[in-house]
Amino acid sequence: MAEEVIDIDTMLNHAGDFGRYQVLLMVLFSAINTFSAFHYFGQTFISVLPDYVCDNGDYLENTIAQQCEIWTLSNNSYEKQRCTSGWIFNNSDTYGFIGIIEELKWVCSDDWKPALGQSVFFIGSVLGSLALGILADMIGRLYVLIIANMLAFTGNIATVLSSNVIIFAASRFVAGCATDSNFVMMYIIVMEYIKPSLRTFGLNLCIGIFYCLSCMAVPWVAVLLGNWRLFLVFISIPHLFVLGFFCLVPESAQWLISKGRTDEAIECFTRIAKINRKTISVKAIEALKRYCSGHVSIKRTHESFLGLLKTPKLRRKTLILVFKSMVMTLCYDAISRNVNGLGYSPFIVFTTTSSTILPACLFILAVQDRIGRKALASGSLFICGLFTACSGVIQAFTEAPKPIVVITLAVIARLSINVAYNSGAQYAVELIPTVVRGQGVSAIHVAGYAASVFSPQILYLSNVWKPSPEVILGMLLVLGAIACLFLPETLNKTLPVTLKDGEEFGEDEGIFHFACCKAPSESTTALHPTHGQNSYS
């Protein structure tokens, strides 16, 4: 009779897959959601732009002050002069909050400086995600989680000390390096130690509630503190508490086993079992050791991300996923930050649009497994593009558009892009073949962050033509929606494992093939083990 062999999920069941320890992990994950929201969107408010006009106190009485010029009446005509005497800021719309633009007078000829800082933040996000992703495979997920949060602390504190654009840009680069890894590593660890059937629901609900509430709170914490420097100090200090995760959070058992450190993985499970008031039998431990021994010793041919680009059909799908990720991430960031010039305080606009995060997560949970990934991805992108473009058209061809109309369109657009963004990564992880899933999803994710470098520049174009950002973003979103039509559906399908599987997957479907319009047949209902799990499994 063959000796029993148990895998990691079975061992988790022995240790307790949803007990006191999982509740602790969920609480810590909720804290990480809060820290990440303040870190990511804090830069939006340190660079908030209040109303301002040139201070014409040093000019003659017969002058008219504009933002960047002074118009002087001379010989029955006005002559334009560059503003050189400083500016008067009206921060009533920001409730008295003083940002870096107001303090350092980064307006008019210097208005490129805050946009540069935000672009450098995203350059740091791209390079940081790549470097920390590689490091996570070398030293572990928990260590990289700590390192990323320390980078967030260091970058934000260095920003507080900024007095010129060079220091500001360098500080935002360091802060940007933390983005994504300061959240994703905890996501991976928590997901691994929770009952598989509860992963999607539990983690998405946690993100929906705590990330949503944190985003809504960001501007009002800034108002309460009154100054961008105090605000950055306040949102930086909580990252230091992540150092305590060394004592509370286990390393990824899957990573430990992949490195041949089986005894340490067993220690993690034993620790979880103790807190969950369970006992793991010696028999179960030996069965896991046999599983680990067999899987670690197997020599496999390791494919790389480049394998996704070698064959025409798989290359087409991969490039579409890359384009979709770039559109989603760029537009998500730009729409989230586009809070100026809507007729209301940018603080109220941001809070109102951020309130859509929780409904978006609940909507995904309710419909994603009913209508399919393709319909949800294409539909949400199209709706977002339509309402974003409509907002731009109204601003372009209406002299005084009603603010309530513009903000309503902005709320619908934010809700739609939240649905597209939060569901999009899972679509990618299901389409990429198992043999290169980690590398493929990581590369696609980084491509999205790379595209976000252009978000501040697109928003900056509103200085040239006010509706430029909405028109550009609307067009990109519609193109992204069309591109999704050329991807296959993954709902109720056996997902591709090899590159050959990926080449042929879904090639019998048309561009208007949607899961919600066709009853699943017996041949298509076999589920891959990762079906229904989230993007970082």
Q: Where are the domains of the chain?
A: 1-50+106-299, 53-105, 305-537
Integer Cα distance of 175 and 158 in angstroms: 9
Give me the pLDDT at residue 484, please.
93
Superfamily of domain 305-537: MFS general substrate transporter like domains (1.20.1250.20)
How many other C-beta atoms lie within 10 A of the C-beta of residue 294?
A: 10
Encode pLDDT of 6-22 as tens digits.
888 889 999 998 899 99
Residues 479-505 have a mean pLDDT of 87
Give me the percent of the chain exceeding a pLDDT of 90.
Answer: 37
Contact 384, 417 (CB under 8 A): yes
Q: What does 9-36 look like in DSSP terms, one character per residue? A: HHHHHHH-SSSHHHHHHHHHHHHHHHHH
Position 62 scores a pLDDT of: 67
d(CA 287, CA 178): 39
Overall average pLDDT of the 183-201 stretch: 83
Q: 521 or 65: whose pLDDT is higher?
A: 65
pLDDT-above-70 percentage for the chain: 90
Instruction: Give the best-scoring range by mean pLDDT among 49-63, 327-341, 465-479.
Output: 465-479
Kindly give, in sequence order, each residue whose CB lies less than 8 Å from that of residue 305, ignoring residues fewer than 6 positions away.
Answer: 436, 439, 440, 443
* pTM (2 d.p.): 0.78
pLDDT at 524 over 60: no
DSSP code of residue 534: -
pLDDT of amino acid 58: 56
The reply to whether domains 1-50+106-299 and 305-537 share a CATH topology is: yes
Model pLDDT, residue 308: 87
What mean pLDDT, rounded, does the chain reach? Answer: 84
Q: What is the mean pLDDT of residues 451-463?
A: 84
Phi, psi of 54 (to 5 degrees): -65, 140
Strands (E), 314-468: none
Task: Please state the rounded mean pLDDT for residues 152-177.
Answer: 94
Per-residue CA distances from 301 to 133, 177, 298 (Å): 21, 32, 10
Just give the CATH number of 1-50+106-299. Answer: 1.20.1250.20
Provide the pLDDT for residue 159. Answer: 95
- pLDDT for 341 equals 57
- CB count within 10 Å of CB 395 equals 24
Bridge partners (DSSP) listed for residue 80: 71
Q: What is the pLDDT of residues 312-337, one digit of tens each?
A: 999 999 999 999 999 999 998 888 77
Whole-angstrom Cα Rg for the chain: 26
Lowest-confidence pick of 28-32, 188-192, 286-290, 381-385: 188-192
